[in-house]
Amino acid sequence: MEYLMLEILAVEVKQGNKSTNQFKAISFNHISDAIKQQLGMEECTPKHVENHLKTLRSTWNTMQTLLNKSGLGCDDSLKMITASPRVYALHVQAHPTHEKFINRKIEMF
């Protein structure tokens, strides 16, 4: 679903359906319709799509923050942000919500 959503959003940007920092409502309608047709998810509404985009943005922002931290690196082949056990323990202690992003495979990396 995420890949389909991102593909359609890229098309929407090319068509001018995005202002400076937000997509137009018609974009969410297009994505919702495509998900219903291609994936058979009948309960997917434009609001679901908009909320999922917010989740993806939040994930991306967290990943960017982590990649700029000292002691954390990235492994593109494994699709993960890496850290030594010591750095991992210290970082997760200070930021428990980041645990799911460090030393774990991230599909949309």
> Residue 97, exposed/middle/buried by CB under 10 A (0-12, 13-18, 19+)?
exposed
Q: In 59-76, which positions are buried (b, 16+ CB within 10 angstroms) versus exposed (e)?
A: eeebbeebeeeeebeeee
Q: What is the pLDDT of residues 10-43, one digit of tens each?
A: 998 898 888 778 888 889 999 999 999 998 888 8
Q: What is the pLDDT of residues 82-99, one digit of tens each?
A: 999 999 999 999 999 999
Task: Phi first, then psi: give them for residue 104, nearest 5 degrees.
Answer: -135, 145
Whether the pLDDT of residue 102 is over 90: the answer is yes
Q: What residues does 80 pair with on adjacent strands?
A: 75
Work out the percent of the chain whose per-residue pLDDT is above 90.
Answer: 60
pLDDT of residue 100: 92
